[in-house]
Amino acid sequence: MNEIDPLGYGTTSQATQSPNTNELSQEDFLALMVAQMENQDPFQPMESGEFFSQIAQFGMVAGMEEVQASIDALAGSLVSDQSLAAAGLVGSEVLVPGESITYQGGTVEGAVDVPFPVDDLTVTIYDSAGQPVQTLSLGDQPGGLVGFSWDGMTAEGEPAPAGEYRWEANATVDGNGVALPTLVQGEVTSVTLGGYGQELTLELEGVGEVPFSEVRRIS
């Protein structure tokens, strides 16, 4: 048997109560609304504005839950797509900002970021002791990314030993010397997926970890 709420806002029964929970389902809400309408004081009926306000509040909560579910599904899809894209990067050559490398032999590829026309662009390679081992002359450049390649040979024509090397790029503009930023090219050996809201991290051979956002070119 249903009992009338002393405040006139509905009834309580086993059919309308959710057992052992504080959550109000859509079915519970509708049952309470029907009971409220059936048992309201006929001399003081609930105003239509209040009725529709309750419906709007419930609809807003339900809508927010649906939006959150959609966002969660989208986030899961993006992570999946990110994983597939990351797997495809392994083995690729990427160009990132940098001025040093752990040399293990072979050819070192890099570039100079030239923002304006320059004269007599050069890249000087230094060993771990700070001694110059080779200078690459790239001539006059109109601007843009200017690639360079070091074959691992010293100025004396000897193979450079394995170790840490760095380089500097310099040029002349209107007779004045300017230093320019450089980039290094490395092979992607592994990719670390970032957590929610974080980006990929690439591990480059001879370079180390680099955020994916710093990649200037993929080849």
Asked if 198 and 153 sit in the same domain, the reply is: yes
Q: Report CA 140 to chain centroid distance, whole Å.
A: 37
Asked if 173 and 72 sit in the same domain, the reply is: no
DSSP line for 82-114: HHHHHHHHTT-EEEEE-SEEEE-SS-EEEEEEE
- What's the rounded Cα separation, in Å, for the pair 84 and 131? 44
Asked if 79 and 124 sit in the same domain, the reply is: no
Q: Which of 63, 87, 111 is the C-terminal boundary of a domain?
A: 87
Asked if 80 and 107 sit in the same domain, the reply is: no
Asked if 63 and 169 sit in the same domain, the reply is: no
Asked if 211 and 161 sit in the same domain, the reply is: yes
Computed over every residue of the chain, the mean pLDDT equals 80
Asked if 122 and 21 sit in the same domain, the reply is: no
For position 156, which CATH number holds?
Answer: 2.60.40.4070
Q: Which of 69, 87, 105 is the C-terminal boundary of a domain?
A: 87
Res 87: pLDDT: 74
What is the tally of structural domains in the chain? 2
Asked if 23 and 127 sit in the same domain, the reply is: no
Asked if 54 and 83 sit in the same domain, the reply is: yes
Asked if 32 and 132 sit in the same domain, the reply is: no
Asked if 208 and 157 sit in the same domain, the reply is: yes
Asked if 179 and 118 sit in the same domain, the reply is: yes
Beta strands 163-173 and 118-126 are antiparallel
Res 204: pLDDT: 96
User: What residue numbers bound the domain in which 117 lies?
Assistant: 93-218
Res 192: pLDDT: 87
Q: Which of 58, 87, 116 is the C-terminal boundary of a domain?
A: 87
pLDDT of the chain along its 219 residues, tens only? Answer: 444 444 444 444 444 444 555 555 666 666 766 676 666 655 555 555 565 566 666 666 666 666 666 666 555 555 556 666 667 889 999 999 999 999 999 999 999 999 999 999 999 999 999 999 999 999 999 999 999 999 999 999 999 999 999 999 999 999 999 999 999 999 999 988 776 667 789 999 999 999 988 999 998
